[in-house]
Homo-oligomer: A and B are copies of this chain.
Amino acid sequence: MSDNKTIPYKIYLNENEIPSKWYNVRSDMKNKPAPLVNPGTGQPMGFDDLRPVFCDELIKQELDNDTPYFDIPQEIRDFYKMYRPSPLVRAYCLEEALGTPAKIYYKFEGNNTSGSHKLNSAIAQAYYAKKQGLRGITTETGAGQWGTALSMACAYLGLDLKVFMVKVSYEQKPFRREVMRTYGASVTPSPSMDTKIGKKINAEHPGTTGSLGCAISEAVEVATTNEGYRYVLGSVLNQVLLHQSIIGLETKAALDKYGIVPDMIIGCAGGGSNLGGLIAPFMGEKLRGEKDYRIIAVEPASCPSFTRGKYAYDFCDTGMVCPLAKMYTLGSNFIPSANHAGGLRYHGMSPILSQLYADGFMEARSVEQTSVFEAATQFARTEGILPAPESSHAIRAAIDEALLCKETGEEKTIVFGLTGTGYFDLVAYQKYNDGEMTDYIPTDEDLEKSLALLPNIG
């Protein structure tokens, strides 16, 4: 490598180039995402139906399928300046190690203490709660990235935060819990004995180690039964994808600076918050017929909602207290096999991405976790950054595409989302280092069983 590279290793925007508006990809979708519906009546939920659960301003964002841009309030932009713009990195060292003619770029969202992109929506949601004069907010967290991000945002704004953390994570990831506590959040293992639904789940499943679906139910119950509290969610929802569009807007601005046009954009997909944000402006161009890009969602083979799920209305939580969403789903009681190490374990997928996928605007593929950690290790050793297991799904696909270019000799430009760092995922890395990591793909029978419980709506 030499100094005469025309593209720097890291493309940084200036602070005043941080986008001043979020982009709402729904405004360019001909087929809008299906609305949230009331599980009792089967009717779409309106503003008033959602008010007991969500903050007012966030409901407006959730329901607005038409406004193309939303101003980012100055206070949120100030917070963004503490860790944004995030760098778009040219993976020179990885390209060299692979011997590929492909040009690989990644948008790195891990340079903040939450260790992921989740902070982009956390500060927005906390801000609107504060503006509404609320005392606090409640949420759930699994791997802990979302809970950490929200605790940082709430500490900054002086807002109370109650986090329900999936019990197995609470016990296995004490350090994540401790970061949240350092930022002043209260963290309760879920299912707890503090809520009706928690008691019920504990009674029905003694010794359960919990699930995201349970924790959501508990957080919603606490938000709706305590004065001055609302519930917030870190993925899946339209509002979250709106906030996360900042990832894609910055990525596009950085690429435009150097006249780079990507051939494909790759992101990992759990609930869809990172992928939806990363691809937003590119998808907009595609939807408007201005440009074409391959857009690839990568999910774990052990939790394959896009590639093996059903596009249907389903419950968002185990307790069935939340609205129903139409999405690619594996069934609300689907839980990935115990050997699954990373995040991306939610049973459903963002309604926006689900509609785009159903309409053929994007591809999806699933990858197995040992191959994901192989890619993660190769990436760490060449590019320096120890990636989150979630992000490493995108790395796997990017490497696979780059190796394909090596075979064909094509100089394709690949952009992927490096959503975060793996500093709190060393138990999984240890398993991989010790050769003890295994793969598990759910059988057709597994999926039939969990999909049998879909509600009969839509």
Answer whether residue A335 sits at the interface, using C-beta atoms and an 8 A cutoff.
no
Does the CB pair A382–B156 fall under 8 Å? yes
- Chain B residue with the shortest CB-CB distance to A377: B182
Contact B184 A381 (CB under 8 A): yes
Residues of B within 8 A of A111 (CB): 111
Interface string of A50-84 (1 = CB under 8 A from B): 00000000000000000000000011011001110
Produce 1/0 per residue, A71-109, CB < 8 A to B: 000110110011100000000010000000000000000
Determine whether A1 belongs to the interface, using a CB cutoff of 8 Å to chain B: yes
Other-chain contact of A81, B10, B113, B156, B183 (Cβ < 8 Å)? B10
Interface size on A, residues (CB 8 A): 49
Please give the count of copies of this chain that the complex contains: 2
Partner of A82, one of B9, B14, B430: B9
The CA-CA distance from A385 to B433 in the complex, in Å, is: 29
Interface membership of A124, Cβ < 8 A: no
Flag whether A386 is at the interface (Cβ < 8 A): yes
Asked if B82 and A381 make an inter-chain contact with CB atoms under 8 angstroms apart, the answer reads no
CB nearest to A148 among chain B residues: B386
- A188-196, A298-306, A418-426 - interface stretch: A418-426
User: From residue 98 to 133 of chain A, which have CB atoms closer than 8 A to chain B?
Assistant: 111-113, 115
Interface check A3, CB cutoff 8 A: yes
Selected interface stretch from A171-179, A284-292, A307-315 = A171-179
Q: Which of B78, B382, B433 contacts A1 (CB 8 A)?
A: B78
The residue of chain B having its C-beta at the shortest distance from the C-beta of A20 within the complex is: B3
Q: Which residue of B is nearest A387, CB measured? A: B113
Within the complex, the shortest CB–CB distance from A171 to chain B, in Å, comes to 14
Contact, CB under 8 Å: B12 / A384: no
Which one of B77, B174, B179 lies within 8 Å of A386 (CB-CB)?
B179
* A12/B12 contact (C-beta < 8 A), A113-B380, A178-B433, A423-B423 known: yes
A383: Cβ under 8 A from any B Cβ: yes
Tell whether, in the assembled complex, residue B93 and residue A156 are in contact, meaning their CB atoms are under 8 Å apart.
yes
Q: Residue-by-residue, is A378-398 near B (CB-CB < 8 Å gives 1, otherwise 0)?
A: 001111111000000000000
| A113–B15 CB distance below 8 A | no
| Interface pair B15/A8, CB less than 8 Å apart | yes
User: Which B residues touch A115, using CB under 8 A?
Assistant: 423
Q: Does A429 contact B (CB under 8 A)?
A: yes
**Are B10 and A426 in contact, with the CB atoms below 8 A?**
no
Q: Which chain B positions have C-beta within 8 A of A15?
A: 8-10
Asked if B433 contacts A386 (CB within 8 A), the reply is no
- Kindly list chain B residues whose C-beta atoms are within 8 Å of the C-beta of A449: none
CA distance A77 to B8 in the complex (A): 13
**A136-161: contact bitstring with B at CB < 8 Å (1 yes, 0 no)?**
00000000000000001001100000
Determine the distance from Cα of A181 to Cα of B428 in the docked complex, in whole angstroms: 13
Is A456 positioned at the interface, with any CB of B under 8 Å from its CB?
A: no
Q: Do the beta carbons of B423 and A182 come within 8 Å of each other?
A: no
- Which residues 406-455 of A have a CB within 8 angstroms of B? 421, 423-424, 426-427, 429-430, 433
Chain B minimum-CB-distance residue to A175: B426
CB-CB under 8 A from A77, the residues of chain B are 3
Q: Which 5 A-B pairs have the closest CB atoms?
A: A175-B426, A9-B81, A155-B381, A178-B426, A8-B15
